[in-house]
Amino acid sequence: MTLNVVTLVGRVGGEPDVRHFESGSVKCRLTLAVNRRTKNDQPDWFTLEIWGKTAQIAEQYVNKGSLIGVKGSLKFDTWVDRNTGANRMAPVIVVDQLNLLGSRRDNEMGQSSNAGYSDDF
């Protein structure tokens, strides 16, 4: 049996980067800061990748500083560095479910907080 599930709650580190493709697909990338249990530790930063209708929801309702919860899986993006020719790798969380956790004012939305969105892709 294998299992690859990641669940995170944190604040968005910047405005979402949304791309609309000719095929009609939508992709959203953003960063998420997740605090540790102790106040003295620096937050852990994660790159999130969101697709489809959930990406459209993120585009509309998620802003820098928004409190969100996500559930998804871990993948690794790989590429060759143009300057050095070295192989590079970065962890990315592919989001299956997005929950808007902040207040209405925090998320600048007219729906109930704690709204959950997911997309089957």
pLDDT of residue 109: 45
Judge whether residue 1 has pLDDT over 90.
Answer: no
Whole-number Å distance between alpha carbons of 107 and 103:
6
Q: Output the CATH code of domain 6-110.
A: 2.40.50.140
**SS3 state of residue 97:** strand
Judge whether residue 119 has pLDDT over 70.
Answer: no
DSSP, res 119: -
Q: Please give the average per-residue pLDDT across 58-86, as a whole number.
A: 95
- Domain segments of the chain as ranges: 6-110
Judge whether residue 107 has pLDDT over 60.
Answer: no
